[in-house]
Amino acid sequence: MAGEWREMTVGEIVAPVRNGLVGGPFGSNLVSRDYVPAGVPVIRGQNMGARWVAGEFAFVSDAKAETLDANIARPGDIVFTQRGTLGQVSVVPEVPYGRYVVSQSQMKLTVNRELADPLFFYYVFSSLEQRDYIRQNTIQTGVPHTNLGILRGTPVPLPPLPEQCAIAHILGTLDDKIELNRRMNETLEAMARALFKSWFVDFDPVRAKTEGRDPGLPKPLADLFPDRFEDSELGEIPAGWRVGNVGELSMLSRDGINPGEFPNEAFDHFSIPAFDEGQKPKSELGSTIKSNKFVVPPDAVLLSKLNPRIPRIWFPVVRDNHRAVCSTEFLVTLPRTGISREFLYSFLSSEAFADVFEMLVTGTSGSHQRVRPEGLLGMDAVIPTESVIHQFTKVTRPMLARVAHARVESSVLANLRDTLLPKLISGELRVQAADDFVQEATA
């Protein structure tokens, strides 16, 4: 640790205010019947785990919040999980709310701003070292948990305040870029889904033409859509389109591999947990992958057959220099001739598809329901003309390519952040050297 740095405890950096370090309310003081549609948000476990407290909140009334004044968190406070997913930490943001109620499963720290920067200490508690400390000091009686006493006595590094702020700025710059990519991806994916729904579910251009309205498309594109509907077993569909099945849009690849036979080779592993953690495949040695996997071709779209009520549709980026494999819980779908990967991905991502796909499950256990591959291929589908599919692909290909690029970029930035974090908060790497890395990565 750098010479001018000190080691203190959390208790020594608490702000000299009432309830600077406090847990949630007593159980009976906050129960589900206290929740109302709007008011003061309650911080629960599902609002934790990222840099900022966020997500879908439960609310209590202003009057109820007044009775829980001791358990209020305000912008700049740091919130820790006390029971549940131990190690979660987040900071209360400046907007959109001025105060929050901390739930029974959380603890709140208000730092002394003359000593400590909240974002610096968010990163301190995001480090593997601090998470290990929490795990090693967990109370195992009953539900594993920690408490205020353990948190108060937790040792933390304390560099000079300007250096804390500089470190938080460097790491925050990487997180800002990752968050910007996430928001951009949400927008682009929503645009692609909306276009698919308009053209291939609601048939908006055809409907406009049948009603004598301008479809709002350039004439060469509008001319590709018919001006009437015709009856089919699925109801009215655009004239010239037809009813088929998913097997006419895609085929399944079942090429398998046992990565354990290549123990020293690094594979990009597309797993269910990796999808849930931000759609970032993990690079793993074959020796650590214990069962057979499917090979992921470059033109594949991965569709989880496990618990389809939780949609998991992956548009994977397969690197030239790494073999890619995926969990056998994924169906490896490949577009047929005349069908683009972008169209197939959008089709599988649509709500109309999800509604039917979810009905094909087998098994009674809620956590182990699956769809049989032949069930997918046999699903009814409206088959558009290839010319319309081509135009859809032309519009959405750059969108989805940008999404894929941003995910790869965010993965690189997250790896850089996770590499710099322990070195910066220990003083092993100084701010200026780290800033050079960040400037290069975010340029």
Of 299, 386, 387, 380, the closest CA to residue 345 belongs to: 299
For residue 354, give every residue at least 6 positions away whose Cβ sits within 8 Å of its Cβ, in sequence order, or none: 308, 311
Tokens 């358990």 belong to residue: 71
Q: Tell which phi-psi region holds residue 338, choosing left (phi > 0), alpha (psi between -120 and 50) or beta.
A: left
How many whole angstroms from its chain centre is CA 309? 17
pLDDT over 90 (residue 437): no
Mean pLDDT, rounded, of the chain? 94
Contact 393, 342 (CB under 8 A): yes
Contact 353, 345 (CB under 8 A): no
Q: In terms of DSSP H, where are the helices of 2-92? A: 62-67
CA distance 398 to 154: 49
Give pLDDT tens digits for 71-104.
999 999 999 999 988 999 999 999 999 999 999 9
Domains in the chain: ranges and CATH = 7-158 (3.90.220.20), 185-396 (3.90.220.20)
44 HSE (CA, 13 A, CB side): 14
CA distance 54 to 49: 9
pLDDT over 70 (residue 438): yes
CA distance 247 to 373: 10
Contact 261, 287 (CB under 8 A): no
CA distance 176 to 358: 36
Give pLDDT tens digits for 390-431.
999 999 999 999 999 999 999 999 999 999 999 999 989 989
Peptide bond into 159 cis (omega under 30): no
Of 397, 258, 255, 402, the closest CA to residue 330 belongs to: 255
Query: Which of the four pLDDT bands, split at 50, 70 and 90, describes residue 177?
Result: very high
Angle of the 341-349 helix axis to the 386-426 helix axis, nearest 10: 80
Give pLDDT tens digits for 237-293.
999 999 999 999 999 999 999 999 999 999 999 999 999 988 999 999 999 998 999
Indicate the DSSP class of residue 111.
B
Tell me, what's the pLDDT at 367?
59
pLDDT over 80 (residue 55): yes
Indicate the DSSP class of residue 37.
S
What b/e sequence results for 331-348 when a residue is b if at least 16 CB atoms lie within 10 Å of its CB, and e otherwise?
bbbebeeebbbbbbbbbb
Whole-model pTM: value is 0.88
Q: Does an H or E element contain 179, and which?
A: helix 161-196
